[in-house]
Every structure is written in C-alpha cells, then in structure tokens.
Amino acid sequence: MSMEATAWTQLHNVMNAQQDRRPFDRATLRRIAAFARPHRRRVALFLLLSVATALLAVATPVLAGRVVNAIVTGKEEGTVTRLAVLIAVIAVAEAGLGLVSRWLSATLGEGLILDLRTAVFDHVQRMPIAFFTRTRTGALVSRLNNDVIGAQRAFSNTLSGVVSNVVTLMLTLGVMLSISWQITALALVLLPVFVLPARRMGTRMARLQREAAAHNAAMGTRMTERFSAPGATLIKLFGRPADESAEFAARAGRVRDIGVRTAMAQSAFITALTLVSALALALVYGLGGFYALRGQLDAGAVVALALLLTRLYAPLTALAGARVEVMSALVSFERVFEVLDLRPLIEEKPDARTVPDGPVSVEFDAVRFGYPSADKVSLASLEDVATLDTRGGAEVLRGVSFRAEPGQTVALVGSSGAGKSTIAQLLPRLYDTDEGAVRIGGIDVRDLSADTLRDTLGMVTQDGHLFHESVRSNLLLARPEATEEDLWDALRRSRLDGLVASLPDGLDTVVGERGYRLSGGERQRLTIARLLLARQRVVILDEATAHLDNTSEAAVQEALVEALEGRTAVVIAHRLSTVRAADLILVVENGRIVERGTHQELLAAGGRYEELYRTQFERPGAEPAGLG
C-alpha cells in the first residue's frame, strides 16, 4: 500500500471512529470472544493468512534489490530471470492469499453481523410493550444496523489489520536495519510528520462528520414524519410549506458547507502527506546513493530500502490509529450488549403449559397492577434522555375480579383512563399482574407458553394496524399455512370479499403504510378477517369501532357478530349501544369494577351505567344498532 493510500485509509478510520478514551473493558472482550467462538477455526486461518501475506509483502522489495544488484554486477541472465520469476510467483501468491483472506474476512464479518442481528432481534421481540412505547424506533433500528456493522468491523478490518501490520512492521524494520541502520533511523524521524497530522486532522474531520450526521438525521426524521400519510395530511391542513422548505433548506445548506470544507481539508491533508512521502523517498535515494557511491552500500540495497519504506510507513501509520479503531469497535459492541442485557419483564417458564382443547373461560382473580417505571423496561440511550424516569408503579387496577364462562361475552365500559384497556392487555400477557392472577381455561397465563397464548387468544384494537404489505401477507400473519380458500372465507365472513376482489391485484394488493390505502372501516374488517382466520377461542375487542362513522360501524358490527360466534369474548367499548347484548357488563371506574350485570339490570339499578347511557343517548339522533 502506498503512503498516499495509507493516508486516506488512516484519515477515514479516524474520522469515522468514535473518539472514546475509556480503558478496555475485559468483560466486553470476554463477551466478544464468546460470539467469535463458533468461528474460531476461520479466525485462526484468517490470522495465519494475514501473517503469510505480510511475509510475502516484505519479500518482494528484497528480491527487487537483488535484481538490481544482478544487473549492476553483470551476472548471468538466468539469475535475473529466476529472480523475476520468483517475484512473479510471489505476486500471484500474494494476490491469491489476498482473495482468500478477503473471503474469510467477509465470511467472518457477515457471520458476526448475522449472529448479532439475530440475537438483538430475537431479544427485542421478547421485550414488553412498555419497552416499545418508550423507545425511539430509529435508535433501536440503529443498534441493529450501524452498531452491529461497527462491531463487525472489529473482525473484518481491525483484527486482521493489527496482526498483519505488526508482522509487516517487524519484518520490514528488521530487514531495513540489516541493510542500513543509519538510513532507517533517519526515515523514522519523518514518521511524526506523517502520523500526527493524520490524527489531528482526523479529529477535526470527525467533528465535521458528526455535525453533518446530526443534520442528516434531523432531515431524515423530518422527512419520515412529513412523508407519512398522517404527517402529510397534517402539513397540508395546518403547516406552512414555505417555512418547512426554508428550515429543510437551511439544514441541507449546512451539510453542503460541511461537505465543501471536508473536501478541501482532505485534499490539503493528502497533498501535504504526498509531499512528506516524496521527501522520505528523496532522503533514501540521496543518502543511499551517497553511501553507494562511496562503496558502503550497493545499488540494489538502495532500491530495496526505497521499496521497503512504504512497507514501513503504512503499518506504522495504521497501528498509530489502531487504538481508535479498536475502541470504536468496542463501543459498538457495548451498545449492542446494552440492549441484550436489558432483561425482559415477561419470561416463559421452562415447563410452560398449553390450554386444553374446547371452549375456555377467562378469569381475573383479585388483580392489582401498575405500569412499570422506565428504568425497568427501557434504556436512556434509546429514549434520547440523560436519565431514565424512575417514577411508576402507581396502581391502575385495584382488585379486579370477574369471570367469563366459555362462549360468554363480557363487556367493559366506563370513563377514559378507568383501566379497561389495561385489563385487555393483561389477558395476552403484554404485561404481568403485580398481584392476583389472570387465567384462561383455569390456567394462570404466566404458566402458559407464548405459542399457546397466541393460538388461543386474539385481539382487535381500535387502530386496526396493518403492515405495508399485501392483503395476503397481512392475513397470513395469523395463520401462515392458510389456503386460498381459507383467506377468501375469512374475507367473506368479515364482509370484505367484494372489496378485495375489486382491487387491482386482489389479495396481492399492497395496503400501504399502516393500511392507509383502506378506509377506517375497511382496515378494521381486515383485522377482523385476520382474527377469523386464526380461529382463536378467546377474542378481545378493544374499542374496535371507536373511530368509525355509523355506516362503517354497522359493517364492522356485522363482521364482529361472525367473529364472536361461539367464542369467549371481552369487549371494551365507549359506545354502549355495541354492548347491550353482552352476557355480562362490567362498569370500571378508577381501576375497580363498581357495577356488574346485564344491560337491563344496570339500567334498572340507576347507577353509573345508567348515567353513562343517558349521557350518550339523551340527544337527537337514532341509537345505533348493537351486537345483538
């Protein structure tokens, strides 16, 4: 590698490395070794090839010097030919080893990325919902992308670089000293002129890069928010396009200015180091030529020293910045391990049970619950805060008890914030109770496996969330093995088959981000179709018709009748018209069940339910149809 190329590499590494001055963490190193252990044979071969490549790199300049000596001394043509052939063989071997080494490097690096990404992805999937409600999605995705790739660099670049550079440096220095210790010593005097500007300029460039990255991240966040369907709608309704454009242009302009400054600084730096390279070579040729003319050095030795000079400066410069690269990789590993060390609040027991076949009951037994504080479920770095909020634990549910018999529908009504949705979230074990028990089929949900919970219990939420995928993909999420006939049957029962049949690509039509290509009622019916396809025995409806107009609500209610048939159901609703036919209605206030009974019983009691009912329906307009 030439000194110019080395300068570019070193400058790039220092610019992109995280400037961290902490000492090495042995615990982190041990964990890194654990991840590398499955690849230890390839790591060993990789390091062996790095050493062999370094040996060949030093051999070529020495042989070139011998060729020059053979020519000067007038030796036989066969000697020059043999040396030339040997140089060619070494070049071919070096190229071959380089390709094999690069293949091993890529295999190790990509294998590590796979292991780390899979570990983080699987771990994140086990985190409670509270983790996702607090975490910035972009920060979490960054751990899976940027930090994992930064950690991978430790194996694919830094590890091989340090080993090969140390070997190359020792061999080159040894050979140069054996040829002429005086010229070697003078050549080393110029090293600080080469290394120090790289570190100083690299630090300055790193600051510019970080500032540019911050501006780019801000622009990316702005674009993501404003280019989504809800964001674009909000801007069109309330935004000021001129102001939005001006702010975006200001940040983009700053990135442009930083780009110009960076380019000029890089050019000035490389030009200066090219000059240093030329001066170093001039020193070798001048002093070496002087010694050669005096008979103290032969011509071949001068050529060998000149060629070896580049082999000396390259590893010295790279090793000067090795600590920065290693620390950068360690920081990336630590950020990945930080996520892996965040213990999920909900763990599946080793001897987890399954729900018996047939209709099942749902039971809440003296349940008390308070949402966990941030320090138990999140990381400050993922929330972009200095310190996590330690507040939490205030009781949301205070001794809730009720039972839904197999096939019964239990409705929860009450004021906003009373705890109805919290009750719904405890059933699929999105959270665990603090006291008491939640049972399905007579078994505590904490004793059930995650798979049996998913197979037994389904939920339709008020937002009707869909992925930016096809209708088919969104449905198959519930039952991947479902046939085409099963899909159309679920769509028919949810009153959506006609609409899907009219779409351009039918089941393969992409529904858009969060399903925004569909209306609110259509999205809800598609989530109901997904529920019907899953064939779960317990259904939770959490405000499934909360944001729909009367026409859409009527269509969704028809689909819900199909969804609830023969199933045990827990229905949460603000619109009391939707729960009149429920077998049991529970009025929830301030985390407690304050009333229970049928629609007619609660109206006759003249309590909180009657008050809520009168508030909703003592005003103009016909009462919407309910589930019954």
Give tens-digit pLDDT for 473-531.
988 888 888 899 999 988 888 888 888 899 888 888 888 776 777 877 788 888 888 88
pLDDT at 155: 64
Please report which confidence band the pLDDT of residue 362 belongs to, taking 50, 70 and 90 as the band edges.
very high
CATH of domain 362-376+393-617: 3.40.50.300
Instruction: For residue range 562-600, list pLDDT tens digits in order.
Output: 667 778 989 888 777 778 888 899 999 999 999 999 999
pTM of the shown model: 0.67
Q: What is the mean pLDDT of residues 383-396?
A: 68
The closest alpha carbon to 265, from 197, 192, 317, belongs to 197
Answer for the pair 472, 507: CB distance below 8 angstroms, yes or no.
Answer: yes
pLDDT at 587: 93
Please report which confidence band the pLDDT of residue 18 belongs to, taking 50, 70 and 90 as the band edges.
very low
Q: Which residues pair with 439 in a beta bridge?
A: 363, 444
pLDDT at 397: 92
Any idea what DSSP says for residue 445?
G
The closest alpha carbon to 427, from 443, 442, 441, 438, belongs to 438
Q: What is the mean pLDDT of residues 285-307?
A: 84
Q: How many CB atoms lie within 10 A of CB 274?
A: 14
Lowest mean pLDDT among 37-51, 325-339, 392-406, 412-426: 325-339
Residue 19 predicted with pLDDT over 50: no
Residue 17 predicted with pLDDT over 50: no
Answer for the pair 578, 564: CB distance below 8 angstroms, yes or no.
Answer: no
Residue 197 predicted with pLDDT over 70: no
The dihedral built from the CA positions of residue 626, 533, 476 and 542, taken in this order, carries a sign that is positive
Within 8 A by CB and 6+ apart from 30, the residues are: none
User: Which pairs from 413-418 meet CB under 8 Å and 24+ separation?
Assistant: 413/572, 413/573, 413/574, 413/576, 413/579, 413/585, 413/586, 413/587, 413/588, 413/609, 413/612, 414/587, 414/588, 414/589, 414/608, 414/612, 415/589, 416/574, 418/588, 418/589, 418/590, 418/591
Q: Tell me the domain boundaries of the chain.
A: 3-340, 362-376+393-617
Q: What are phi and psi of 580, to 5 degrees?
A: -60, -30
pLDDT at 217: 64
Strand order in the sheet with 395-404: 395-404, 362-370, 435-440, 443-444
Instruction: For residue range 198-253, list pLDDT tens digits in order.
Output: 566 656 766 776 677 667 766 776 776 777 666 776 676 666 777 778 888 888 88
Burial 392-430 (b: 16+ CB within 10 A, else e): eeeebbbebebebeebbbbbbbbeeebbbbbbbbbbbbe
Instruction: For residue range 134-153, list pLDDT tens digits in order.
Output: 777 767 777 777 777 777 76
SS3 content of the chain, % helix, strand, coil (to 5): 65, 10, 25
pLDDT at 446: 93
The percent of residues in the chain predicted with pLDDT above 70, rounded, is: 79
Token pair belonging to 143: 């751990």
Residue 21 predicted with pLDDT over 50: no
**Any alpha helices (H) in 190-240, and if so which ranges?**
191-227, 229-238
Any idea what DSSP says for residue 400?
E
The percent of residues in the chain predicted with pLDDT above 90, rounded, is: 11
pLDDT at 436: 94
pLDDT at 13: 52
Answer for the pair 493, 529: CB distance below 8 angstroms, yes or no.
Answer: yes
Is the domain covering 3-340 a CATH 1.10.3720.10 domain?
no
- Which position has the higher pLDDT, 219 or 628? 219
Please report which confidence band the pLDDT of residue 439 belongs to, taking 50, 70 and 90 as the band edges.
very high
pLDDT at 30: 81
Please report which confidence band the pLDDT of residue 401 belongs to, taking 50, 70 and 90 as the band edges.
very high
Residue 386 predicted with pLDDT over 80: no
Residue 278 predicted with pLDDT over 60: yes
d(CA 106, CA 233): 45
Residue 468 predicted with pLDDT over 50: yes
Please report which confidence band the pLDDT of residue 64 belongs to, taking 50, 70 and 90 as the band edges.
confident
d(CA 148, CA 112): 8
pLDDT at 315: 75
Instruction: For residue range 89-106, list pLDDT tens digits in order.
Output: 998 998 898 888 888 877
d(CA 513, CA 503): 17
Token pair belonging to 307: 């060629």
Counting Cα atoms < 13 Å in the Cβ hemisphere of 18 gives 17
